[in-house]
Structure 1
Amino acid sequence: MKRMMMYVVLCSFSFSLLMGCGKEPAKQMSDQQSEMNAIGNPTAQDVLSMDANANILMYEDTIYHAGVPWVEALQLTKDVQLTEIRRQSKVGTDFQNGTANQLEAGTKIFRVKERNDILIAETEKGDIRFYQLVEG
């Protein structure tokens, strides 16, 4: 009888242990999925909440940021015009493609020949370089 009772307790404990271990990976996957959903490219709201004076624009659902020192040091050649700024907004949640917070509506935006992650805005005060902000 003692042997039978010990066997039942041991089986119950083993089963509980296995069930507990089986649930943990599923929970971990759920946590990882939630974390993956939270990770992504910075939004206009993200950038402006860190620096209200940041000079940004949105092109093809991606935020571009001006004032990156190493970008300013590059030798770049302005290529074809891609778009122009359609609207200006200081509110990050209002951003959509063609929105900038400091550039005026009508500002022309150009691609550069040397890189795919930099755009140039042509303004009356001179060209401004914008670097693509992506997670990665």
Structure 2
Amino acid sequence: MSNTDTVYLAYDYPVLGAFLTALWVFLWVLWVFLLFRIVVDIFRDDTMNGWVKTAWLVFVLVLPFLGVFVYVCVRGAGMGRREATHAKAQRAEFDDYVRKTAAGGGSGTSGGAADELAKLADMKNSGHLTEEEFQRAKQKILS
């Protein structure tokens, strides 16, 4: 291969071409993200039955550009509300879990009841409760 056959790619690929390539890659990633977001929204929506979800899913996957455009036009306003509702539900579940864990209840009420019974036994052993008071309080906790 002689010196005249050498190809310099930097000279054959101008800056505008590199910019347009980066733009197309960005748009493609944005498109995949939007498609994924719409598929998640289809499955998350509790107001649609299974057949309607299937129809939207087939429409979005078979004719993706038209399907996404129509979905965003028809159901786009509700996407934000459904996302906010889902986020609130997740936050409420997390807060409930933290409250139960911080109270010593663990994942159920048995840890809380066991803690209460241990406190009652300590109070009985120290003489602060009579046997009758201990039995009444124990029945109250276990019921």
TM-score, normalized by the shorter chain, greater than 0.5? no
Which structure's residues are more often helix, by fraction? 2
Greater gyration radius: 2
Which structure's residues are more often strand, by fraction? 1
Q: TM-score, normalised by structure 1?
A: 0.29
